[in-house]
Amino acid sequence: MGSDIKIFVNIDGIPIAKSGSSQFWPILGKIAWVKRSKPFIIGVYWGPKKPIDVNIYLADFVEEATLLEVTGFEYCLIIVFVTIVAFICDYPALSFILCIKGHTGYFSCLKCVTASVSYRPNVNKRNSIFIVFPELNAPLRTDASFRFRENPQHHLPGSSLLENLFHFNLLMAFCWMVCMLQI
């Protein structure tokens, strides 16, 4: 007999100090849908800047997540399986870990295949530029279209090890909502 634990995962970069460039890139977990669940550390990267290679950064995490999902672990004579149900990230972290265009990229929408447009509502204010996705009925991306790179302008070179986590839809597993970004 087995039991299941569902978890949320958060990945983001954190500068250590205003004056330096050192950063932490923690991978945090939280038991899903449990009100009093506290975040816990899964892994932490520290370096002078964000990890250079996302797949080196994610390798141990993906290996262990796969093992916990497939074989589980034993606790009090019960096999417990762990499944990731969602990644909760800001868009810069999401684009880094999925190897896709950042939020200011031309085909950067995670949910649909549409080109972005730069919009400056006030030409007198140079710092007020918005990236918008004006097409309201754009075709939706699917897990398969994402994995097969059907819209190559959306992807950066290479692929993310997160694509090896086969149990979930890559697009639905990422929680991020936006209609407009100001840059």
Q: What is the predicted pLDDT for the residue at 82?
A: 96
Please say whether the dihedral angle defined by the alpha carbons of residues 78, 40, 96 and 93, taken in this order, is positive or negative.
positive
Number of domains in the chain: 1
Contacts (Cβ under 8 Å, ≥6 apart) of 162: 58, 62, 87, 97, 98, 170
Reading the chain (183 residues) residue by residue, the pLDDT tens digits are 569 999 999 999 999 988 888 999 999 999 999 999 999 999 999 999 999 999 999 999 999 999 999 999 999 999 999 999 999 988 899 999 998 888 777 788 888 888 888 877 776 666 777 788 888 889 988 888 888 888 888 888 889 999 998 777 877 777 654 444 444
Q: How many angstroms separate the Cα of 107 from the Cα of each of 15, 80, 81, 152? A: 28, 40, 37, 9
Domain, as residue range, for 9: 2-182
Which pLDDT does position 30 carry in this prediction? 97
Helices (H) and strands (E) in the chain, counts: 3, 10
Rounded to a whole number of angstroms, the CA Rg of the chain reads 19
Condensed to tens digits (0 to 9), the pLDDT of residues 11-53 reads 999 999 888 889 999 999 999 999 999 999 999 999 999 999 9
Count the residues in the chain.
Answer: 183
Helices (H), 27-167: 54-70, 91-98, 143-147
Burial of 38 (0-12, 13-18, 19+ CB in 10 A): exposed
